[in-house]
Amino acid sequence: MGHKDRDDMSGEVMERNDENWMKKERRKGGERRRAGGGRPPFVERRKRKRRKDSSAMVPENKKNLWREKKVAFIGCGNMGSALISGILGSGLISKDMVLVTDIRPKRLEYIKEKEGVSTTENNREAVEKSDIIVLAIKPQVMEKILSEIKDVVTEDKVIISIAAGITTGFIEKALEKEVAVVRVMPNTPALVRTSASGLSSGRYAGEEEEAITEQMMDRVGIVVKVPEEMLDAVTALSGSGPAYIFYVIESLIEAGMEMGLSEDDARKLVEQTVLGAVRMVMGTGESPKVLRAKVTSPGGTTEAALKYLEEKGFQKILLAAVKEAAVRSKELNTG
C-alpha cells in the first residue's frame, strides 16, 4: 500500500470519527459541546498538532543546549564551585556529565563530596572527555593551562573563560585553532545565585555558543551581552561593584555604632535597609533618582544627610573610583 492510499484511508477514518461524534452530540441535544460532553476528535487533533509544532518552534536560547553534553571545569575555586552548584541545582545538567579539575586535591575532595561530581588532576583528560570547557582559573596561570591542553582542544568544543583580563583573542591565539571562545565577567554574588555578569564572544563563537554560556550564567544570576571592549566597564561596574556596596554597608554600620547602637542591631537595620532599597529599585520600575526624591522631605533628616554628601562631592568621588577600576582593568588585559 502506498503513502497516498494510507493517507486516504486515515482521512476516511478521521471523517467517520468526526461524524460519529456529531451524531452522539445531536442525540444529547446539541452539536456544541456542553458541560460533561467530550471534545470532538478534530479538536483533539488540532491540539496535538499545536503541541507538536510549538515544541519545534522553541527559540534556541530557550532549549536546554547542555543536554547530553559533557562539561569540564578547569579550576573549582569559589566562582567555579558556584557555577557547578548553579547548573546542577537548576537541573541544567546531571552530575554524571560534569568533570572537575584543580591543582588542590583537598578542593577536589570537597567538590566531589558536596556535588557528587567526578574529579581528576589531569586537565588534558578532562578536556578530551568534554564538549564544554569552563576555564575557572586565575589569569596568571591561563597561558600555562592553555599550552597544556591545546593539543586536545578540537574545533567542535566550546571554551568559556571567567578569568579576568584574558581576552578571547589571547585564548584563540594560544590554542592555535578556530575554536569557539566566550568570555564572561561574573561577580561574587554568584555564590548566592544573584550574580551580574557581562558576556562577550570571540571571533569563532556563534549564537549557539553564546546561548550555552548564557544558560550557565542565568543559573547564578543575570547576564548581559556586550562588545568585548566594554568588559572593562563591566568589570569596573559590576565585577568590582559588590565591594563598593560592602564599603557603604560597612560605613553605615560604623555610623550606627558611633551613635550608640550595638553592632548586631546596626547590622540588622543596615542590611534590611539596603535590601529594601534594592527591591524598590527593581520592583517599582522607578529610577533611583525619583525614589531618592520621594524619601527626601524638605528640611528633613534625609535632606540634611544628602546635602552633606553633595558638598563633599560623594557622587563625583564614586564616579571617579569606578573609572579608575576600568583603567586598571585595561592595564591588566592580556591579549
**pLDDT per position as a tens digit, 109-126:** 999 999 999 999 999 999
**pLDDT per position as a tens digit, 129-183:** 999 999 999 999 999 999 999 999 999 999 999 999 999 999 999 999 999 999 9
What whole-number percentage of the chain has pLDDT above 70? Answer: 81
Judgement on whether residues 179 and 96 belong to the same structural domain of the protein:
yes
CA angle 119, 151, 170 (to 5 degrees): 95
Nearest by Cα to 332 from 169, 188, 168, 165: 165
**142 domain-assigned:** yes
**63 domain-assigned:** no
Contact 25, 56 (CB under 8 A): no
Number of domain units in the chain: 3
Judgement on whether residues 218 and 255 belong to the same structural domain of the protein:
no
Judgement on whether residues 153 and 10 belong to the same structural domain of the protein:
no
Query: What CATH number corresponds to the domain at position 289?
Result: 1.10.3730.10
Judgement on whether residues 164 and 135 belong to the same structural domain of the protein:
yes
Q: Which three cell numbers stand for residue 136?
A: 575557572
Name, in order, each residue with C-beta under 8 angstroms of 320's C-beta and a sequence gap of 6 or more: none
Judgement on whether residues 207 and 267 belong to the same structural domain of the protein:
no
Judgement on whether residues 42 and 75 belong to the same structural domain of the protein:
no
Judgement on whether residues 129 and 19 belong to the same structural domain of the protein:
no
Judgement on whether residues 109 and 79 belong to the same structural domain of the protein:
yes
**232 domain-assigned:** no
What whole-number percentage of the chain has pLDDT above 90? Answer: 79
> What are the C-alpha distances in Å from 279 to residues 120, 129, 239, 270, 272?
42, 43, 20, 14, 10
Judgement on whether residues 77 and 215 belong to the same structural domain of the protein:
yes
**pLDDT per position as a tens digit, 1-21:** 554 444 454 555 455 555 665
Which residue among 164, 197, 227 closes a domain? 227
Using DSSP's 3-state secondary structure scheme, residue 39 falls into: coil
Query: What CATH number corresponds to the domain at position 210?
Result: 3.40.50.720
Nearest by Cα to 198 from 169, 161, 168, 238: 238
Please tell me the distance from the alpha carbon of residue 194 to that of residue 205, in angstroms, as a whole number: 26
Which residue among 203, 227, 251 closes a domain? 227
Judgement on whether residues 126 and 206 belong to the same structural domain of the protein:
yes
| pTM given for the model | 0.78
**233 domain-assigned:** no
Owning domain of residue 323: 241-332
Judgement on whether residues 18 and 79 belong to the same structural domain of the protein:
no
